[in-house]
Structure 1
């Protein structure tokens, strides 16, 4: 199972996200890294896999593409959520795996069929998929008939909270989708990593748990649990 370090970028810095309250995100000046400057930050943590959320672009401001490219060059694989709003935008940054978020990508669920490749991020708040309000399991069943390489369950409300995961919810979601499935948001520590692996998820996107020391940094450097 892949372990992927999440990095939220805003204003050219790494910021710490919590519960999707983007207006309250602040530079990540605590934890394991000596700086919130992205390249210094990544040099210190040395992750194998990286997930970048370009919060500037997601919120409709100027994308940080040059910074993203430099960060992506420092890891083996980089997933990028840039707030893609059309299939054409998915080629804007070379050398990354595009992440197409339901929050921004399409007016209707059927419009998602226009995308080819990349990962579909099923963005969840209050237990429902943004912006349509359906259950994650239903969205996964529909995604199984689309052309994405895999899906990400992103529990936005749980980001940065370390609230932990519920086995029954994970099992239901895993049963609804036959392809590669990653999870992000609220992963509290090693027990949650083991749970995701046991249920059959293919990867976990984590950050706060690494800085708090509840998931070993060495695991992120290796790119999988040891």
Structure 2
């Protein structure tokens, strides 16, 4: 079975919808399943089992949603949280939180991190900020001390661009660690591609709000 994880981007205290990593153009998510972009109200409508949060203010170094995120305890089984970790001590500890360490903010030296998920942040096929092939980094992840990895296609976020089966297989074969895929999932056919390739999880947002993926799936949190 593959986990289905609902993505929620937080900016200025609201849930926002983004596309291709152009964060200056992100706007409140006032369409789709939820009638509100207020995070608590949004979660009460969506009711996901698993949640991925990108705290865009903290990633940019302009603010923090820590207090808000800690209030989500009991609303989800697990919260994968990218809050822009820049050094090993810069994580948020809570029983329901799995910290995500993104290459975009952590930089090339990942040796001091322990536990959590490494997010291999990719733009135009290259890891941010090093520019290397994501397969190269994923193949080294097993020698580090992470519990798993996320392959995040930043340029595909919000685009519904779809999944290439060959590329999915190439990425999955790079590591034996638990591996999630995020960015560009169009619908259930793409979920099938990721499942068949052996991914352990898929992070989705746009496909959920357009109706391409039924909300019951995100509430169950599993695809098989």
Normalising by the smaller structure, the TM-score range is: over 0.9
Tell me which residue corresponds to 1:197. 195
Structure 1 stretches (4+) deviating beyond 6 angstroms? none
RMSD: 0.9
- Normalising by structure 2, we get a TM-score of 0.97
Tell me which residue corresponds to 2:3. 2
Tell me which residue corresponds to 2:105. 104
Cα distance in 2 for partners of 1:158, 1:84 equals 22
Cα distance in 2 for partners of 1:130, 1:81 equals 15
1:93 Cα shift? 4.0
1:105-161 CA-to-partner distances (Å, cap 9, x unmatched) read: 13x2xx212100000000000000000001111111111211100000000000000
Cα distance in 2 for partners of 1:10, 1:34 equals 17
Cα distance in 2 for partners of 1:115, 1:72 equals 24
1:174 Cα shift? 1.0
Aligned equivalent of 1:127, options 117, 125, 140: 125
Is the partner of 1:193 in helix, strand or coil?
helix
1:71 Cα shift? 2.5
Is the partner of 1:210 in helix, strand or coil?
helix
Tell me which residue corresponds to 1:81. 82
1:76-96 CA-to-partner distances (Å, cap 9, x unmatched) read: 100000000011012x34231
Tell me which residue corresponds to 2:28. 27
1:72 Cα shift? 4.2
1:142-196 CA-to-partner distances (Å, cap 9, x unmatched) read: 1121110000000000000000011111111111101100000000000000100
Q: Quick check: 1:47–1:223 contact (8 Å CA) kept in 2? A: yes
1:52 aligned onto 2:62? no
Cα distance in 2 for partners of 1:48, 1:136 equals 28
Cα distance in 1 for partners of 2:111, 2:193 equals 31
- Normalising by structure 1, we get a TM-score of 0.96
**Structure 1 regions of 5+ residues with no counterpart?**
none
Is the partner of 2:104 in helix, strand or coil?
coil
1:70 Cα shift? 1.4
Q: Quick check: 1:4–1:47 contact (8 Å CA) kept in 2? A: yes
Tell me which residue corresponds to 2:139. 141
Is the partner of 1:104 in helix, strand or coil?
helix
Tell me which residue corresponds to 2:207. 209
